[in-house]
Structure 1
Amino acid sequence: MKLLILGATGPTGRHVVDLAVRSGDSVTAFVRNPATLGDLAERVTPVTGDATSQHDLTAAAVGHDAIVSALGRGSSVRADGLFTRASTAVTGAARKADVPRLVWLSSFGVGHTFGWSSSAQKLIYGTLLRSIYADKAIADESIRSSGLDWTVVYPTRLTNGPAKGTYRADDRLPMKGNPTISRADVAAFLHAAARGGEWIHRTAVISD
């Protein structure tokens, strides 16, 4: 399978790239700085560009079967319009390049999933993460109305622990406290979703 991975050098995207390469996929890593790919640079096709530029993304997307976005803001709690701008660019690029499949990483608590959150989660989402989550909510709706074969993925709080392979995934999950999931498990779900059809036109909530 030919995959274009956005946010390929980020903490979750790097796991997606690793999995895709090990699975024998042909991987294009869309990055701002190819040097950050390290030892993976020789096993993928690095493409330098701006994830908010439809022109850059269209050029990179041609000939691929699916786009997986693991874009994030790192430790910043300011959105700066990244997700809304990137969602517009990537959906436009996918249509122009005739790439039907898009798997988009969001966060649990964004949009309609806020109402399913526990009290502890709502306190965090409504204060510290308010700016980023508002931006992501607009982006997610843009993905869902794109006409593509989309999947929007809502993981709970991300950790840097190892993959367990025992996470839960459903359209909705019960929440207590502030549950977590490792980035490695999130990457496994993103990769599997891109390769299969089970989650097309669905929003997936995933958590340990």
Structure 2
Amino acid sequence: MKLTIVAATGGIGRHLVEQAVADGHDVTAVARRPRELPASVRAVAVDLTRPDMPTLAAAVRGADAVLSALGPRNPRTDAGITSRGTREIVAAMHAEHVRRIIIVSAAPVGPVPVPGQPTPPRHDPGDGFFMRHLGVPFTRAMFGRHYADLALTEQTLRDSELQWTVSRPPKLTDKPLTGRYRTAWNRNIRGGFSVSRADVAHHMLAMVNQPDTIEQVVGIAN
């Protein structure tokens, strides 16, 4: 398969690249610092804080799917990057008639209001007592602007008319790939407090060929 991976040198992106290459896919890797990418991929330099639409369009041209691990380096100070960058990715995909996209969001995003969903559920249906009353309020107090931006990112996909899927992991870790994780559609994972970046990448790649995940939000946790 021909895959374009965005934010290819980030925490999840590097695992996407490594696993996609190992699986024999034809990979175009989009990154701010492409010199960090392996020689086995087509590397494209794009800074999505200052998008270059012709270069981005060329990067997605002919792709069977786009996988985006785009996110801020510092969620407390760099909010806004993900929604802006995703809008550019969607525009490039429309220009090149590419349909399939899978992105990374975050578990606390579900109850965050956006213009398209001004009255979301008060709690994610998968969250237990601890997450509803302690975990989620704490993380929103710390990273509220980041989650609001991710909610806008998800809204961009819902409005895009593309074949989109959103992956919502909880706390990300650097533990090794296991290939063993729990998933659920349109809800978080009960008792799922963390997941490795490697396993998130593994699941994103698996969903490329799962048409039943199109237009779905998928929770994942170890």
Length-normalised TM-score, structure 1: 0.91
**SS in structure 1 of the partner of residue 156 of structure 2:** helix
Is 1:45 matched up with 2:59?
A: no
C-alpha separation between the residues in 2 aligned to 1:71 and 1:84?
9
- Cα RMSD between the aligned structures? 1.7
In the TM superposition, what whole-angstrom CA distance separates every residue of 1:176-207 from its partner, at most 9, and x where no partner exists? 4x710000100001111123323111110101
Of the three residues 167, 175, 200, the one matched with 2:190 is 175
1:204 equivalent to 2:218? Answer yes
Q: Which amino acid aligns with 1:21?
A: V
Aligned mates of 1:93, 1:24 — CA distance in 2? 25
Distance 1:93 1:173 in 2: 30
Distance 1:86 1:103 in 2: 14
Report what 2:123 is aligned to.
115
| Offset of residue 50 of structure 1 | 2.4
SS at match of 1:169: strand
Q: State the match for 2:205 in structure 1.
A: 191
Matches of 1:158 and 1:149, distance apart in 2: 25
Match of 2:170 in 1: 156
Post-superposition offset of 1:125: 2.6
User: Does residue 136 of structure 1 match 2:150?
Assistant: yes
Structure 1 residues 80, 122: CA separation in 2 closer, same or farther (over 3 Å shift)? closer
Q: Deviations over 1:84-130 (max 9, x none)?
A: 21121111111111111000111111133772241232123321111
Of stretches 192-201 and 95-104 in structure 1, the one that deviates more from structure 2 is: 192-201
Q: Is the 8 A contact 1:50 1:56 kept in 2?
A: no
Q: Distance in 2 between matches of 1:111 and 1:55?
A: 33
With 194-203 and 99-108 compared, the bigger mean Cα shift is at: 194-203
Unaligned runs of 5+ in 2: 113-121
Structure 1, 114-123 or 150-159: larger mean CA deviation: 114-123
* Cα displacement string for residues 1-48 of structure 1 (whole angstroms, at most 9, x for unaligned residues): 0000001000111001011001110000001111122xx1x1000001
Does residue 1:104 correspond to 2:118, yes or no?
A: no
Q: How does the TM-score come out when normalised to structure 2?
A: 0.86
Work out the CA distance in 2 between the residues paired with 1:166 and 1:93.
34
CA distance, structure 2, for counterparts of residue 32 and residue 188 of structure 1: 23
Shift of 1:174: 4.5
Q: Distance in 2 between matches of 1:21 and 1:49?
A: 20
SS in 1 for 2:200: helix
Where structure 1 has 5 or more consecutive residues not aligned to the other structure, the ranges are: none
CA contact under 8 A between 1:79 and 1:135: conserved in structure 2? no
Aligned residue for 1:55, secondary structure, equals: helix
Residue of structure 1 equivalent to 2:119: none
Counterpart code for 2:105: S
Tell me how far apart the structure 2 counterparts of residues 159 and 145 of structure 1 sit (CA, whole Å): 31
